[in-house]
Each structure stands twice: as structure tokens, then as C-alpha cells.
Structure 1
Amino acid sequence: MTYKLVNFSAFLSIFLLFSCAEKQEVAAPEAVGPVPTEEQLAWYDMEMNAFIHFTTNTFTDKEWGYGDESPSIFNPTELDVNQWMNTLEKAGFKGVILTAKHHDGFALFPSEFTEHDIANSPYKEGKGDIVKEVAESARAHDLKFGIYLSPWDRNRADYGQDSYVTYYRNQLKEVFENYGPVFEMWFDGANGGDGFYGGADEERKIDKTVYYHWPETLAMVEEIEPNVLFFSDAGPDLRWVGNEEGIGGETNWNTITPDTLYAGQAGITELLKTGSEDGTEWIPAEVNTSIRPGWFYHKAEDSLVRDAENLFQLYFTSVGRGSTLLLNIPPDRRGLFHENDVEALLGFRKILDSVFAVNLAEKASISADSFRGNSASYNAENAIDADPETYFATDDATTTATLEIELKKEEALHYIVLQEYIKLGQRVEKFKVSAWENNAWKEIAQGTTIGHKRILELKGINTTKIKVKITAAKASPLLSNIGLY
């Protein structure tokens, strides 16, 4: 009996030792560099937002109004913001940014601080408020609402003086206090030039780096709307991508150093497009373009609307390069999205739904050459489990990785989707994708950055296996999703 008891005790000790070892948690990777805020993370998941340019320019056939337009010309006879929002909802957009005031200074809301507004137009006999209509309809269609209130105003007699900055802030207060919540405040670099300016008809130049007192102005807005994202050429939350063609950088770092973004800098547009691997702030690029050649409606452009296939390609050069797409759709003089625009948008949605209907990786098997601490919390299966909060990771000292996905049967693959776990920073610098063909691996795609989402074409290759190889990273790579379509 003594002999058996001694051996049982030894067995129990060994069992407990191994049990404790199995339960010992492997430490999660530490964040590397700047990381996104909760608001920025939600912005990525929106993927596609709509821009709406609509003002007196719609009726004068101009892109930039001079500021001398009479409010009496603004008279949409069939305006229906629900038609706008119905279309956007069906097309899969998640937010809408309305141009509440463009450079001409005409306000689409009744403003206490100017006569150059919708209250002095024939629309609804001066009782209309399009900002209110859009904000309410957007929320009814589960779309987030944002605004663009142009800092430049070619109508104001005091533009260039301190009193105008007070006026601009007063209108920002009106918009944010009366129509919130507002998810994004959009403003651009068009500041100063020729204009009406209350009858002066002259050119005015301002130093846009100091004139608006941006730190104080944005702090005022943030006090009203703490969760707002500020977009401008240099952020502070979202940056311009450097072009208006809808093309994000194939190399696209979400980080950038803001004080490197100044007017006249050589290579500034390329820097905005690619970001900086060693940037000090997380300021992702927003990819903006219009469904038409212009930003406002022009009848002459009815035949020049981007078609569904073109919009699908824009998705790849924006969302598919780790950014979001901000697509402008301008209402016509009736106050409706034109039939050609609507047809293109809904056709675009059909293509997206068809292409990404079935993720073949979800029912595949996957393996990796190594994973963090040999812990199931970080193994390769986390990259195909459809859970964005789990991820594959390597040990801290390992900055390369190879993952192989084996399908149930041979499939024709057209696209691969890769996503990093960016809550802990952006890491991947270079990667390759190979397919198993004729009993050998054949490289079929490669790239640099991944970020929130990277989509690459695989051109319909028939295969049973795909290999993703991270060949360089600034720290241990973290992949939250691999999709095959």
C-alpha cells in the first residue's frame, strides 16, 4: 500500500505541473508605434461614405461660386432627401457628409449670422432646412451624418479679418449644436483667392496656417462633439490622400508626422498617399473622388457618370488599400440623385455582393510555420475564424511568417483579403502570395503594407492551396483575417 501511495503522489505532482504549464497564459504582443482611436476604428469599418455637394452652383452650372449669387436661384422643385438616403443605404454606404456651405458662402441651413442662406431662397418659401432634412433622414436610414462647412467664403465682406473667424465659428456652433451627432467634420485647403466679398470683387490672401486659429477652433467643436473625426490635408484625425481620383497608395502607412505636411513641400502628394512608416501620429488617408467629373451636378455630365465596374475598381484602390472611400454624388436641379448615378451605385452593390458572397477560407484548413508561444490564442486558425478580435501572431523576435491555407477542393480564386490587427499598430512591410500549381508553389501576388484591409486580385487561378508569406515587418506580424473569394 505504501508503494502505491508514493507513486500516486508522484504522478499527481507531475500531472499538476503540466496542467499549470498548459494554463499559463502567453503574453499578448505590445503595441508598436501609434495606434488608432475607437472612432478611427469605427471609421475603417464603415468602408464607404457619401459626399453630397449641393448649393447655388447646382443652378448656375459652376464648380466654384463667386459669392455674388442670389439665394433666389436656389429652388429645387422635387427635392427628396429620402431618395438620396434610400439609394445610399441600398448601395451599402455607412455615412454621408453634406456640404452645408461651399466656397460661395450659401448656407443650406437658416443661419442666424447671414442673409446668404436657404431662408432667403424660394425653397419651401424660406422655411426649409436641408441640413436638418439630411441629418434626420440619414439617421433614419442608419447612416452616420457628417458636415463640410467651407472655411473659405467668397461672399463675406469681412473674409480675411478676425471678425470672419468669429462668424465661421458661430456657424460651426449652429451646425454641431443643432444637427448632431456629427461623425466627421470635413474641411479642405481652398482658402483665399478672388471673390465677391460683399461687392469688393477682389483677390484676398490669408495665411491659412494661422488665420483660422485651428487648434482653438477645433477644440471648440470637440467640446460640443467629443467623438468627431476631423479631416483636412494634414488631419488631425484623417488626412487627404493627395489626389481626387480615388486612388490610395499601394504602400499605405496609416501613420504620418503632421509637421512634415506643409504647403510647397516637395513630394507632398506622394507623402500623403503613402504615409510614413515611422510617423508619429495615427492619421489614416481618406480616399475621395466624385461619381462625375465635377463635384456639383452638371447636365452635360449625365453621360460621364462612372459605371458600376469603375466604382468596383475604386473600391479596390481605396478600401482595398487600407483606407475608406468617400464618393461624391451630387443631386441635380430637381433635388434628386440622377437616374444614371442611381443605376451605377446599385449596380456597384450587386458586383460587391456577388464577388464577396462566399469566403472559401472559412471552411479551409490552415497552418503556420510558427505561432506565438505555441499558444492556441495566437495560432493560424485565428486568421480564418471570422472573428476580428482574434489574430495570428508570432513571437516578438520573429518578424516573418508563412501561413498555408488548404481548400476542401480545387477552386478558381479571384481575390484575397488580408487584414492586420491594427489595434496594436501597423506592422507588415512586405508580403507575397503563392498558389499550389503543378505540384509546386507559384508566386501570384505581392505587396508592401496591409493595414486595416488589403485586397489583391488572383486572376481566377485554379488551386487547392494558397500560401501567404510575410517577408518583412517592423515587429511580430499580427493577422486578424485572411479571406479567399
Structure 2
Amino acid sequence: MTPPARWSAVRPSARQLAWQAMEFYAFIHFGMNTMTDREWGEGHDDPAAFDPAALDADQWIRALKAAGMTGVILTCKHHDGFCLWPSDVTAYTVASSPWRGGRGDVVAEVADAARRHGLRFGIYLSPWDRTEASYGSGSAYDDFYVAQLTELLTRYGPVFSVWLDGANGEGPNGRRQVYDWERYYAVARELQPDAVISVCGPDVRWCGNEAGDTRPDEWSVVPRALQDAERIAERSQRADDGAFARLVRSDERDLGSRAALAGFEDDLVWYPAEVNTSIRPGWFHHPAEDAAVRSAEELFGIYLRAVGGNSCFLLNVPPARDGLLREADVAVLERLGRRIEDFRARRVTATATVSSGTAGDVATAWPGRGRMPWRRDEADPLPGVRLAFAGARRIEAVVVGEDIARGQRVEHVVVRGLRDGRWTILAEANAVGYQRILSFPPAETEAVLVEVPRTRDTPVLACVAAIGATS
């Protein structure tokens, strides 16, 4: 099947482009559940239980920045309904707690700390509220939710992400709330037009699990039906346990190939994926999990597959009851940041030649995007970029990135290495998108050839880089 030209005409918005370039950022789950040692609170816990006396948002942000993260999303309110800011529409907030003498505002402290350290700030506001009496009543609860959303989007400066999930339970009247998603989206668009609306939203798609698992090929151009928020709601976590964070589903492994898009040719959207998981088994801090912090190597592997697989990586790091990140988490984040920096620093200096046209700056752009991407001539039967080294080099990965402002076009990429006059295949993949990191056993090569044998339109590459092996 020849792909219709309009497939490559599906393009990201400016907010989606800015989000994709962030690559790696944090979730902070913190609140009443932290104090009660639960994942899902039932609501109505005594606000006096919230008193994180040592809370230090700068400590949180320094640790996230050390890991190489570019932003942070705070759980401003989880399903239990306790608000980390002094909301005007409920008394169930930090203003009713002893913390900071009832004058504290966790949202403000985290937003301010993020700005001080150069990270962008985002919010999570649970649509399910197990304390609010109007939940399940319809428009009255929508009014309540929109009031809180408005507070968060007008009091704390620029927001890069409004992160929504489909958590949904019964209200006091025994009814489930039917969320007015379109109204929520309209408020976010009006108040924070540069923010992406994620997961139960039109801008960023959930990868489908909370284990950090990634697809073999991730496509950003997918059927519009994937934006159906209710479908995501059906697959959201429904139990108070840490097992959900390690659950990997094997279905829906292909969302955007030619075969997957057959029948949807006229109803496609740009809907890129976010890979999310937690540094611990649970999303909130639990003392019993202090010895179960994931290793930097495991997280680096997820980073390579997510950020190197046309996705962004959202890693949850939960502070403890006293308001501080535990040293085990901080140490892992620091090691992870060093691992990422080391990987980037091993980019091999190379001279680029191309099969047609001019190479632009594709060989020097990474990490980052080239200002002069390479676009092959229309008549070029087998587009390719060759990276020549000063001498034989051992390499273990090649990074390829498209200029996604012009769509996602590459459908197959092959990486070959040159040794003693012979080319051998080192790696190959299908989807590329914003960035694809193709890893392979270390190989000694004099040059690398990146070929694009199948595309949806003229390929436009923003970066091509070879990564040297560690030994």
C-alpha cells in the first residue's frame, strides 16, 4: 500500500514540538497519601496528618536536575481530594493543616523552586475527588473542578503540562461522575495556551502501561480514535497497590504503521507518546520500599528506549513523609544523570556526506536539533547519510532524528558499518520520528552509513550521530 501524501501532512502543534524537545522530566507524587502510607486515599483524612516539617522543594528540584530532567509535574491533588494549595472552593487543603502554620502552599514552593533551577512546571489535578460532596452530581462537580483548575493555571506562572487521567469512582450519591472533558480542555487552552494536555487529553498519549515498557516502533501519527479519553479511563489504575506500575501489556504494539492506519487514512492526528513509570514500586513514598529503588542502569535503559524511541520519559520520584527525597533516590538520580551525560559526551566527531543534496548540520547537531536539516533530492532512490571518522572507532549506538515540524516520514532505517572495505548491518528499525537511538554490540568501524529505504514522503533528517563504545 502506498501511503497517502496527507499522512506526512499531519504535523505537531508548537506546544507539542516544545514538549517533545523536553525529552525527560519528573512526576512528584506527594500529599495526604504520603502521610498515611497509602497509594489511594479514601478521602476525609484529618488535615492535621499533613505536616512535612522538613519539606524542601529545592532539594527535590536539585535532584531532578542532576538526573538531566527538564521539568516537573506535581500531583497538586490526588484522588483523596486533599489540595496542596489553599483552594478557595474547599477547606480540605494545606490551609487546614499545621504545616507552615496553615499558611503553606506546596504548589507555590515547587513552582518557584523549578523556576529557580531552570525547570519547567506542570500540574496534575485528579478528576476523581473522594472528599468533595458534589462528585457524581454532574455539572455542579464540573464547576468545582474547573474552579480548582483555574486556580492552578492562574496563580503559579507558566505551565508546560496539564496532566489528566481517567480515574473515576462513585460519589456520595453512588453515581460516577461523567467528566466534561471538552470544558476542561477549553479552560486549559484559554489560561495556558502553551501547555500540552496529556494522557486524557488531545496533545500527548499514554504509552499504555506504567512499567516503562516501550513499543518496538512508536508512531506520532495515529488514528484520532486514540484520543478517546474514556478508553484511557477504562485502563487506568483501579486498585491501591504497586503492582500496576510494573504491569506490561502486550497488545497494541503497532499503532501507526501502514497496516495499522489502513481504514483511518482520512482521520489521523499527531498524538505522540509519553512513557511513564516510578523510581519505586509505588507512586507515593512508602518506607517499606526504601530498599526497592530502581537502579540507575535500569532507568537508563528505559531512557534509551523512551527518549530514543520517539517518546518522552516521565519518571516519578516521591518525597517521604518529612518532605525530603530519600538519599537512595537522590543517589540513583545523580548516577542516572552522569550516565546520560557520559552517553552524550561519547558522540564521535565525524564528517557527513549525503546521497544527494547538502548535509546541513546533521552530524554536529546532536544532542539537539539541526538548524539546517538534510532533505534528499526527489530523484534519490536510496537516501542516506554517511559519517566518516578520522580513523577506526568502536561505536555502540547511532542516533537518528527527523525534523518532525515537517511530519513523521521515515518508515525504515538501516545502519551499516564499514570495516576493511565491507559494509555490514549494525541495526535497523522502522519508525524514527523526533529521535531514534539504535543500540548494538560494540563494533569497530571506519564509517557509518544511515540509509532510509522506505518513507512516506521525502525524508528530512535533523540529526545523525554515532556514539562511541565505553570500552
Q: Normalising TM by the smaller chain, what interval?
A: 0.7 to 0.9
Q: Is the 8 A contact 1:273 1:285 kept in 2?
A: no
Matched, 1:342 2:330: yes
CA positional deviation for 1:32: 2.6
CA positional deviation for 1:287: 0.9
Matched, 1:297 2:285: yes
Q: Is the 8 A contact 1:289 1:328 kept in 2?
A: yes
CA positional deviation for 1:124: 1.0
Count of equivalent residues: 436
Contiguous gaps of at least 5 residues in structure 2: 236-248, 262-266
Q: Which residue pairs with 1:364 in the alignment?
A: 350
Q: Which residue pairs with 2:165 in the alignment?
A: 188
CA positional deviation for 1:438: 4.3
Matched, 1:319 2:303: no
Given the two structures, how large is their TM-score scaled by the length of structure 1? 0.85
CA positional deviation for 1:431: 1.3
Letter in 1 for 2:193: P
Q: Which residue pairs with 1:473 in the alignment?
A: 455
Letter in 2 for 1:126: G
Compared CA separation, residues 399 and 134, structure 1 to 2 (3 A): farther
Match of 1:224 among 144, 167, 191: 191
Q: If you compute each CA radius of gyration, which structure gives the higher value, 1 or 2?
A: 1
The alignment yields a C-alpha RMSD, in angstroms, of 2.2
CA distance in 1, matches of 2:278, 2:454: 36
Q: Which residue pairs with 2:245 in the alignment?
A: none
CA positional deviation for 1:71: 1.1
CA positional deviation for 1:264: 6.1
Q: Which residue pairs with 2:414 in the alignment?
A: 432
Q: Percent identity?
A: 39
Give a deviation string over 1:446-485, Cα, whole Å, max 9, x none: 1011110100113221111111111211111111111111
Q: Which residue pairs with 2:216 in the alignment?
A: 250
Q: Is the 8 A contact 2:417 2:448 kept in 1?
A: yes
Q: Is the 8 A contact 2:136 2:174 kept in 1?
A: no
Matched, 1:383 2:362: yes
Given the two structures, how large is their TM-score scaled by the length of structure 2? 0.88
Q: Which residue pairs with 1:418 in the alignment?
A: 400
CA distance in 2, matches of 1:158, 1:88: 37
CA distance in 2, matches of 1:443, 1:317: 20
CA distance in 2, matches of 1:473, 1:430: 7
Give a deviation string over 1:148-193, Cα, whole Å, max 9, x none: 0000111112211121111001101111111121111001011124
CA positional deviation for 1:424: 0.6
Letter in 2 for 1:176: L
Misfit runs of 4+, over 4 Å: 260-265, 267-274
Q: Any idea what SS the aligned residue of 1:116 has?
A: coil
Q: Which residue pairs with 2:204 in the alignment?
A: 238
Q: Which residue pairs with 2:243 in the alignment?
A: none
Compared CA separation, residues 272 and 56, structure 1 to 2 (3 A): farther
Q: Any idea what SS the aligned residue of 1:96 has?
A: strand
Letter in 2 for 1:384: A
Letter in 2 for 1:183: F
Matched, 1:276 2:264: no
CA distance in 2, matches of 1:78, 1:367: 56
Q: Which residue pairs with 1:396 in the alignment?
A: 378
Give a deviation string over 1:19-45, Cα, whole Å, max 9, x none: xxxxxxxxxx99932111222112122
Q: Is the 8 A contact 1:368 1:380 kept in 2?
A: yes
Letter in 1 for 2:202: P
Contiguous gaps of at least 5 residues in structure 1: 1-28, 372-378
Letter in 2 for 1:276: G
Q: Which residue pairs with 2:46 in the alignment?
A: 70
Q: Is the 8 A contact 1:413 1:462 kept in 2?
A: yes
Q: Which residue pairs with 2:466 in the alignment?
A: 484
CA distance in 2, matches of 1:467, 1:317: 22
Letter in 1 for 2:418: W
